[in-house]
Structure 1
Amino acid sequence: MSTSPSPHWLTSKEQQSWRAYLAMTARLHALQGRQLQVLHGISIQDFQVLVHVSEASDGCIRTSDLADAVVWERSRLSHHLARMEKRGLIARNTCPNDGRGVLVSLTPAGEELLVKAAPDHVELVRRVFIDALGPDGLGELDYVTATVLGALDVEPEPQSR
């Protein structure tokens, strides 16, 4: 019978840093979500979709590329897009050169909502993130995020035991 090695537990300082990071990202995400909901009646997820679709070169993006951009499972994105389509914010059409692909584009209502919501969103991000960190802090954050993203790029997908 083989025994697995005991975990390499976090030190108190490591645990403090990890939990502070989790608290910061959760609070920042929640604040962004509340602001968008109160001021514009949309979720942070709606806003993410609107932003990524608006930034697509042809004004539309394949659902598979959008799922990668927002880091969601395809089925979650499909359900979310159905709700946004029902509200008239996006349109989905079959990809002309690939009958299996679906393209997402903004409707005029979606574009209008994004134009209204983006200034409030960027003002919040600037106030509580960009200005709070300053140039030196942003440089350090760039190093940290590049390092972690690099480690994630080589991390194998978990396998069930």
Structure 2
Amino acid sequence: MEPKNSAESTEPQWLTEDEQHIWRAYLHATTLLEDHLDRQLQRDAKMPHVYFGLLVKLSESPRRRLRMTELARDAKITRSRLSHAISRLEANGWVRREDCPSDKRGQFAVLTEEGLGVLERTAPGHVAAVRHALFDRLDAEQQKSLGEIMRIVAEGLQPTEAGADLPWLR
């Protein structure tokens, strides 16, 4: 589907009143949802939502490890933010770094047994928070529509060019 506004147009195509309401509702809901999930994880595991996501990514990876650059890309965060997060997770004993044998500058982040335990203890409360905040509020058709809409948006924003200037590649 082509965007309504072409790159050659000199006049911005402002959002209609209905589009503005949808856009603001989306921003409001996603901000509240992220805050809700962050507070739940801070309360239950003393970690922000982004750290939980890193632990999940590592738990789903072969040998529970990923190259730091790949983890930054998957998590959509800068390498410096990832390095800070991994340092905090290391201090808790939940992750360790390993040097990459094939690349002297490369490192792996590895989920420890303690980190896996924290993830396993925290996941049920997190799933309950997600279910309560999102899925329990939508019927099956709305859930399906939301999934389709989010896939369309994500596919449209996924960079295809190798040299894209993306924060998680810096």
Shorter-chain TM-score range: 0.7 to 0.9
Match of 1:133 among 124, 129, 138: 138
Match of 1:66 among 68, 71, 74: 71
Equivalent-residue separation in structure 2 for 1:59 and 1:39 (angstroms): 23
Aligned partner of residue 93 in structure 2, secondary structure: coil
Partner of 1:121: 126
Equivalent-residue separation in structure 2 for 1:134 and 1:155 (angstroms): 34
Q: CA deviation at 1:154?
A: 5.4
Partner of 2:95: 90
Partner of 1:101: 106
Whether 1:31 aligns to 2:36 is yes
TM-score, with length taken from structure 2 = 0.83
1:13-58 CA distances to partner (integer Å, 9 max, x unpaired)? 1111011111111101100010111122111111111111111022
Q: CA deviation at 1:155?
A: 8.0
- Structure 1 residues 137-148: aligned runs within 5 Å: 137-148=142-153
Moved more, 146-155 or 23-32: 146-155
Aligned partner of residue 84 in structure 1, secondary structure: helix
Equivalent-residue separation in structure 2 for 1:44 and 1:51 (angstroms): 11
What do you get for the CA RMSD once the two structures are aligned?
1.9
Identity %, equivalent residues? 36
- Unmatched segments (≥5 aa) in structure 1: none
Larger RCO: 1 or 2 (CA < 8 Å, sep 6+): 2
TM-score, with length taken from structure 1 = 0.88
Paired residue type of 2:125: D
- Unmatched segments (≥5 aa) in structure 2: 1-8, 166-170
Number of residues of Structure 1 aligned to a counterpart in Structure 2: 155
